[in-house]
């Protein structure tokens, strides 16, 4: 096994709809892993009427959202008319393209809520295309000597997820105890996010909400999972385009970001509306326009 030495980065805590989340991507010094450009862990929390996930209608452009629930249930509603509950083991994949809006609501659905939401930057060739949404209730599982892998996106150990993304990448949930050797594509860069327990990779020892960056050029990876651990393995070809991220938008420059801000603020038909009882989230004014 080759590649660079593992580099651990910590998440930072931020607020999403009144809920404290741990954000592992983007971070200073680590903006992306392949096309993966955003990673938030919400929970685990004991849900109360005051504390749950209630993210009202808000827009996205230029990205896929990947929602993966570990515990509890979240209702996704979007401006294409989809109303889709998501439960553990299922994947919601939303493609924003030129523009979509959605809301996420866990009210009255869960006692405990835990999960992650990731974004995947879309390539220039697809990012202006119409939006879409897919729910995948059945994902492939792979048995490993000391664990089990669930393939969210991409191909891993000979099995492929039915979820379609527009660039080559993988996202794999691995639960297990002890030593695991997993195959990797050496053309991809990879990182491991710890969900539960802890993981040792070479000289790095990482805990929940830490991200271990592994670089490219690895044929495989030797992991040691503390008993009952769970991790997310992310990988992809180093993203070939320079992206500009602001608020809920992934674009290429500030002109595009400002246009998306204006279209949401002016309620043009670019993003359309979402059927939900949650309040619409207004965009902050871009700091470079002030
Ligand atoms: Mn969103």
Residue 171 Cα distances to 17, 118, 140, 161, angstroms:
26, 10, 12, 9
Task: Domain count for the chain, please give it.
Answer: 1
Question: Is residue 255, in this structure, part of any structural domain at all?
Answer: no
Q: Mark 68-91 as b/e (b = at least 16 C-beta within 10 Å).
A: bbbbbbbbbbbbeebebebeeebb
**Cis before residue 44, ω within 30 degrees of 0?**
yes
Q: What is the mean pLDDT of the chain?
A: 95
Give the 3-state secondary structure of the chain.
CCCCCCEEEECEEEEECCEEEEEEECECCECCECCEEEEEEEEEEECCCCCCCEEEEEEEECEEEEEEEEECCEEEEECCCCEEEECCCCEEEEECCCCEEEEEECCCCCCEEEEEEEEEECCCCCCCCCCEEEEECCCCEEEECCEEEEEEECEECCEECCCCCCCCEEEEEEEEEEEEEEECCCCCEEEEEEEECCEEECCEEECCCEEEEEECCCCEEEEEEEEEEEEEEEEECCCCCCCEEECCEEECCHHHHHHHHHHHHCCCCCCCCCCCCCCCCCCCCCHHHC
Residue 254 Cα distances to 201, 250, 270, 288, angstroms:
39, 10, 18, 8
Question: Is residue 146, in this structure, part of any structural domain at all?
Answer: yes
Do 35 and 24 form a contact (C-beta atoms < 8 A)? no
The confidence score (pLDDT) of residue 29 equals 86
Question: Is residue 53, in this structure, part of any structural domain at all?
Answer: yes
**Cis before residue 26, ω within 30 degrees of 0?**
yes
Do 222 and 183 form a contact (C-beta atoms < 8 A)? no
Q: How far apart are CA 137 and CA 56, in angstroms?
A: 24
CA 93 / ligand 1 centre spacing (Å) = 11
The confidence score (pLDDT) of residue 3 equals 66
What is the distance, to the nearest Å, from the Cα of residue 90 to the centroid of all Cα atoms in its chain? 14
Question: Is residue 256, in this structure, part of any structural domain at all?
Answer: no
Question: Is residue 253, in this structure, part of any structural domain at all?
Answer: no
CA 227 / ligand 1 centre spacing (Å) = 33
CA 194 / ligand 1 centre spacing (Å) = 22
CA 214 / ligand 1 centre spacing (Å) = 27
CA 133 / ligand 1 centre spacing (Å) = 13
CA 207 / ligand 1 centre spacing (Å) = 26
Q: How far apart are CA 109 and CA 41, in angstroms?
A: 18
CA 120 / ligand 1 centre spacing (Å) = 12
* pTM as predicted: 0.96
Do 183 and 139 form a contact (C-beta atoms < 8 A)? no
CA 58 / ligand 1 centre spacing (Å) = 6
Question: Is residue 252, in this structure, part of any structural domain at all?
Answer: no
CA 94 / ligand 1 centre spacing (Å) = 9
Q: Which stretches of the chain drop beneath a pLDDT of 70?
A: 1-3
Question: Is residue 266, in this structure, part of any structural domain at all?
Answer: no
pLDDT in tens, 241-258: 999 999 999 999 999 999
Residues in the chain: 290
CA 45 / ligand 1 centre spacing (Å) = 20
CATH value at residue 72: 2.60.120.10
The confidence score (pLDDT) of residue 39 equals 97
CA 202 / ligand 1 centre spacing (Å) = 35
CA 205 / ligand 1 centre spacing (Å) = 31
CA 67 / ligand 1 centre spacing (Å) = 10
pLDDT in tens, 266-285: 999 999 999 999 999 999 99
The confidence score (pLDDT) of residue 131 equals 98
Q: How many C-beta atoms lie closer than 10 Å to residue 43's C-beta?
A: 23
CA 26 / ligand 1 centre spacing (Å) = 15
CA 213 / ligand 1 centre spacing (Å) = 25
* C-beta pairs of 20-26 under 8 Å, 24+ apart in sequence: 22/209, 24/193, 24/209, 24/210, 24/211, 25/118, 25/211, 26/245
Q: Which domain holds residue 120?
A: 7-236
Question: Is residue 25, in this structure, part of any structural domain at all?
Answer: yes
């Amino acid at each position: 096994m080759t590649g660079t030495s593992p580099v651990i980065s910590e998440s930072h805590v931020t607020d999403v709809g009144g809920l404290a989340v741990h954000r592992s991507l983007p971070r200073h010094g680590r903006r992306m892993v392949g096309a993966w450009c955003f990673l938030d862990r919400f929970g685990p929390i004991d849900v109360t009427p005051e504390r749950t996930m209630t993210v009202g209608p808000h827009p996205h452009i230029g990205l896929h959202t990947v929602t993966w629930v570990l515990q509890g249930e979240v209702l996704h509603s979007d401006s294409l008319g989809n109303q889709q509950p998501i439960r553990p083991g299922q994947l919601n994949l939303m493609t924003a393209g030129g523009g979509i809006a959605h809301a996420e609501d866990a009210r009255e659905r869960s006692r405990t809520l835990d999960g992650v939401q990731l974004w995947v930057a879309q390539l220039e060739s697809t990012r202006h295309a119409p939006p879409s949404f897919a729910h995948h209730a059945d994902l492939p599982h792979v048995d490993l000597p000391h664990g089990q892998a669930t393939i969210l996106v991409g191909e891993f150990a000979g099995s492929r997820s039915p979820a379609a993304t527009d660039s080559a990448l993988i996202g794999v949930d691995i639960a297990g105890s002890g030593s695991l050797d997993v195959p990797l594509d050496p053309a991809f860069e990879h990182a491991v996010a710890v969900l539960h327990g802890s993981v040792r990779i070479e000289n790095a020892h990482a805990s929940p909400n830490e991200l271990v960056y592994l670089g490219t050029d690895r044929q495989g990876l030797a992991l040691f999972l503390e008993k009952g651990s769970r991790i997310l393995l992310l990988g992809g070809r180093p993203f070939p385009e320079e992206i500009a991220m602001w608020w809920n938008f992934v674009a290429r420059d500030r002109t595009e970001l400002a246009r998306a801000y204006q279209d949401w603020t002016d309620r043009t038909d670019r993003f359309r509306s979402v059927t939900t009882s949650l309040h619409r989230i207004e965009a902050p004014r871009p700091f470079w326009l002030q």
